[in-house]
Structure formats: C-alpha cells, structure tokens
Amino acid sequence: MKEEEVATKAKTADARIKVRKVTNIHSNWSSQGELADGKFSFQLILDNGAEEALVMPTNEDSDVLMDLFDASSELYFDTERRVIIFNGVSASG
C-alpha cells in the first residue's frame, strides 16, 4: 500500500470518530472592558491533540463546568453534537 493511501485511510478513519476522550483542558478568561464581566472559554484537547474543541460558556455555566471537570474521572466530547460527557462523576462534596 502506498504511503498516500495509508494517509488517506487514516484521515478517513479519524473523520469517522465522533466521540473523543478529553486529554487536556486549557481554560482562558478575557477582559471585556472595565466594569464589564469577562468571558471564559475552555479549549478541549481531544485524544492527545488529534482534534481540539472550543467551548465558550456563560460565566455561570463556567462555574458548573469547572466543578464537573473536577468531579469526573474521565471526560469525553461528542464532536458531532458538541456535547461534553462526564464519566465517573463523584457525588461527594
């Protein structure tokens, strides 16, 4: 099999994957000016960099997401539906 064919098949297989494991999260806050609420965003690194997703929640939702990130043993992201799946959520706390 030619190298180009292998690369094409790998890209096709990657495109079929709809749910990926979140392997890292980069959180960000940006100022919106004086006396204005800032904006939060989370960059989800999926499958060690195979793909990335940007989530831009409201300030209130950011607080809930941070709690869920901490309480979950694993995170997954459905790239087609743009849904974060929290696995093994601890009910303590």
Above 80 in pLDDT, residue 29?
yes
Strand, coil or helix: 47 = helix
Measured distance CA(35)–CA(66) in Å, rounded: 24
Write down the pTM of the prediction.
0.76
Burial of 44 (0-12, 13-18, 19+ CB in 10 A): buried
Least confident of 10-14, 29-33, 80-84, 88-92: 10-14
Q: What average pLDDT does this structure show over 38-64? A: 95
The rounded mean pLDDT for the chain is 88
Domain membership flag for residue 81:
yes
Parent domain of 71? 18-87
Domain membership flag for residue 71:
yes
Q: How many domains does the chain have?
A: 1
Please give the pLDDT value at position 30.
94
Domain membership flag for residue 49:
yes
Domain membership flag for residue 1:
no
Domain membership flag for residue 65:
yes
The pair phi, psi for residue 60, each rounded to 5°, is -65, -45
**83-87 β-sheet, strand order:** 51-55, 39-46, 19-30, 74-78, 83-87
Above 70 in pLDDT, residue 13?
no
Please give the pLDDT value at position 37.
87
Domain membership flag for residue 6:
no
Above 60 in pLDDT, residue 93?
no
Domain membership flag for residue 12:
no
Structure tokens at 23: 């392997």
Domain membership flag for residue 92:
no
